[in-house]
Amino acid sequence: MAEKVLSIADSITVGELAEVLNLSVTTLVGELFKNGIAATINQRIDFETATIIVEELGIDVELEKKETTVTTERRVHELSAKAVERPPIVAVMGHVDHGKTSLLDAILGQKVVDGEAGGITQHISAYQTVRKDRTITLLDTPGHEAFAALRQHGATLTDVVIIVVAADDGVKPQTIEAIRFARTANAKIVVAINKIDKEAANAQLVKTQLATEHNLNPEEWGGDVVMVEVSAKTGVGIDKLLDMVLLVADIEELKADIDVPAEGLVIESHMETGRGAVVGLLVEQGALTPSSFLVAGTAYGKIRTLQDFSGKTIKTAGPSTPVTVSGFKELPQFGDIFEVVKSEKEAKAKASVVRIEREQNAASTNVTGADMLRLMTQKAEASDFNVIIKADVQGSLTSVIDSLKTIDTGGEVNLHVISSGVGNMTENDIRLVAGSNTVIYGFNVDLPPAVKQLATRERAEVRLYRVIYELLDDARLSMEKLLAPEIVETQIGTLEIKGVFRTMKDEIIAGGLVKSGKVVPNVLVRMTRGKGQTLEVLGEAEITNLQREKIESKEVFEGDMCGLSLKTHKKVMLEIGDKLEFFTRQVVERHL
C-alpha cells in the first residue's frame, strides 16, 4: 500500500498545492468550494485543510509537514577598530498640541506642519539638520496616542529622545507615554520645555512634575536630565537645545562601521505612480549606494534611485542617514530590517525564508479561508465587527490596525480585520464586502469614481478619514452599537397588600399600605410573596388607576393607605400580606 509522501509547508497557496498534487487549479478550487471554502489561486490554506482535501479527492498521497528552519534573527554587530563617529538619531516626542512639530519647523527652518491633518503628524518622517558642522538626524514621531505602536518603533531607532512639554500645560498622558518608550529603548532623554513665551508659562512647575512624579531630575537640581526652555514661535533656546543634544550624544560615543554591507530599518513605504514601491530607510551601518541589492522582510529589489530627506539624489548614504529609495518589487513593512546582499538571487531567497516564517506564525492567528467565508457570507453576529483597512503607507496601516485592536469591549464585541493593504480603494475591496456587514476604512487614501459607483451599487460601507482619532472614534461608536443594551430598573416604592377586592383574568383591584417611597400611576409592579429564601415572584403588572380615600390620586406616599387597579398579563391570585414593588424599567445604550 505504498503511498507517495509529499512534504509541504504548514500553509500553502491553492496554486502551489495544485502543482504539488499535479492537479488543475480549477479542480482544486472546485473541491475547496464543496467544502465551504471560496478560495482563489493565491489564497493560503493550512496543512489540515490541505490534508482533508487530498482525502476528499481520493488521491493516493500522504502529506507531511516540511520542517523549515528559519533564521531571521537580527545580527548583533561588534564595532571594529575602523568604526567612525556617526550622527545621533533623535526622536522628537510629546503630547498633542505641545508644539512638537512646530519645534521641528524651527529647527529645520521649514513648515513641516503644513499638510498635516489637524496639525497632527500622521506617520513617521525623518530629517537632518546641521549644528556647528555636525549633523543631527531627527525623527518626527506621530503625535496622537493612537500611534502608540508606531511611536514605539520610532523610539527603538533612537539614541536621544527630545520630549516636548508645553510650559503652560505641563505633563500629559502622551508625555508619560513618551518617557516610558524612551526608557524602554534605553535612549537618553532631553526635555524641551516649549511655549515659554506664553503668559501662563511655568517652566518650574513642569520641572517639578517631571522630577517628583516621573523621576526625571533636572541637571540644575543635581539630577542627570538636560532640560532646556525653548519657544518654537520665537526661536529662543533652539540652538542651546541642539547643543545639549550633541553633548549628550558625545557622552554616548556613537560610532558605526562603514566598510560593511549596509543595514538599517524601514521607516516608511508607499506606492507611487511611475515609481512603484517608494521606501524610506534609516541606515544604521555601512554605506548604501545605488544599484545595491536589498532585502527587507518579504520584499527585495535593486536600488534604482537613492535620495536624501529633501528629495535630492545622492550617491551614498552612511550611518544614521535617512533616505528614500525606489526599486523594491513590493512594499516592505514598517520596522523591517533591511540589508544589502550580493545578488538579486540571494535577496529573493532571503525574502522567501522570511515569508514562510511569517505565514507559519500567522497560520494560527490569521483568518483562514473558511473563517473568511463565514465572516463574509453569514449575517454578522451582534458580537462581530468586521473591517477592511486601506492606508497610504505601511507605517500608518500598522498603526491603524494596532490601535483598532486596543478598543476594549470587555470581550463582548470581536473586531476582525479580514483584509488590509496600502494604496487607494479598489474594486476588489468592494467585491470582497458586497452583501456583508463589513466596513471598509480608508486612511489618507482616495476612492476613485469607478470604485465609488461600485460601492454605491453594492451598498458597501466605505468610510474615509484623514485624521486617525476620527477613524478610531467611528470604530468605537460602531462597536458600541453592537453592545447589548443595559436594562436599568429604578425602584419607586413598596406596598403591603391589606385587602383584595376583585380578581379577574387580566385585572386586580386591591388596597394596601405604602411601606416605602411612593406609588404613582402607570409604573410597573412586581408582585411577590414571602421573603428571604422563600420569596416567590408571582408576576408583573402595571398600575392603571390609583386612589386615596376613594379619590383618584397622582401619587401616594409612605405611611398612607391607597387603592389601586393592576393590569396583568395572566391571572394572579393576590393575598393579604403579599408585597408590591413599584419600579420603572429603561433600556439604556452602553458606551465603551
Same domain, 272 and 217: no
Same domain, 392 and 293: no
DSSP 8-state secondary structure symbol assigned to residue 588: E
465: part of which helix (H) or strand (E)? strand 461-465
How do strand 188-194 and strand 160-166 relate by DSSP bridges?
Answer: parallel
Same domain, 269 and 249: no
* Residue 28 · residue 38 · CB < 8 Å: no
Residue 436 within any structural domain of the chain: yes
Residue 78 within any structural domain of the chain: no
pLDDT (0 to 100) of residue 3: 58
Q: Cα 192 vs. chain centroid, distance in angstroms? A: 29
Same domain, 220 and 106: yes
Residue 319 within any structural domain of the chain: yes
Highest mean pLDDT among 7-16, 51-60, 397-406, 531-540: 531-540
The letter for the amino acid at 145 is: E
CATH number of domain containing 464: 3.40.50.10050
Residue 75 within any structural domain of the chain: no
Residue 192 within any structural domain of the chain: yes
pLDDT (0 to 100) of residue 145: 39
* Residue 541 · residue 567 · CB < 8 Å: yes
Output the average pLDDT for the chain: 81
pLDDT (0 to 100) of residue 149: 44
Residue 474 within any structural domain of the chain: yes
Mean pLDDT over 344-364 rounds to 77
Nine cell digits for residue 189: 532623554
pLDDT (0 to 100) of residue 37: 67
151 pLDDT more than 80 = no
pLDDT (0 to 100) of residue 55: 79
How do strand 486-503 and strand 536-548 relate by DSSP bridges?
Answer: unpaired
Q: How far apart are CA 77 and CA 319, in angstroms?
A: 14
Same domain, 116 and 166: yes
Q: Record the pTM.
A: 0.57
Same domain, 350 and 384: no
Q: What are the backbone angles phi and psi of residue 539, rounded to the nearest 5°?
A: 150, 180
Same domain, 90 and 189: yes
Q: At which of 227, 256, 285 does a domain end? A: 256
pLDDT: is 116 or 556 the higher one? 556
Q: At which of 202, 233, 256 does a domain end? A: 256
DSSP 8-state secondary structure symbol assigned to residue 539: E
86 pLDDT more than 50 = yes
Residue 77 within any structural domain of the chain: no
pLDDT (0 to 100) of residue 204: 93
437 pLDDT more than 90 = no
Residue 17 within any structural domain of the chain: yes
Q: How many domains does the chain have?
A: 5
CATH number of domain containing 531: 2.40.30.10
Same domain, 238 and 92: yes
Same domain, 497 and 350: no
Same domain, 236 and 271: no
118 pLDDT more than 60 = no
Q: Which residues contact 78 (CB under 8 A, 6 or more apart)?
A: none
Same domain, 59 and 120: no
The letter for the amino acid at 489 is: E
498 pLDDT more than 90 = yes
Domain span holding position 11: 4-65
Q: At which of 198, 233, 256 does a domain end? A: 256
Q: How far apart are CA 97 and CA 120, in angstroms?
A: 8
How do strand 536-548 and strand 551-552 relate by DSSP bridges?
Answer: antiparallel
Mean pLDDT over 174-187 rounds to 81
429: part of which helix (H) or strand (E)? helix 427-433
72 pLDDT more than 50 = no
Q: How far apart are CA 8 and CA 543, in angstroms?
A: 72
Q: What percent of the chain has pLDDT above 90?
A: 38
To 5 degrees, how large is the angle CA 458–CA 366–CA 401? 70
Interval 575-591: pLDDT, tens:
999 999 999 988 777 76
Is the Cα dihedral 41, 45, 50, 56 positive or negative? negative
Same domain, 126 and 214: yes
pLDDT tier at 376, thresholds 50, 70, 90: very low
Give residue for cell 513665551. 197
- Identify which of 234, 239, 214, 237 has the alpha carbon closest to the alpha carbon of residue 225: 214
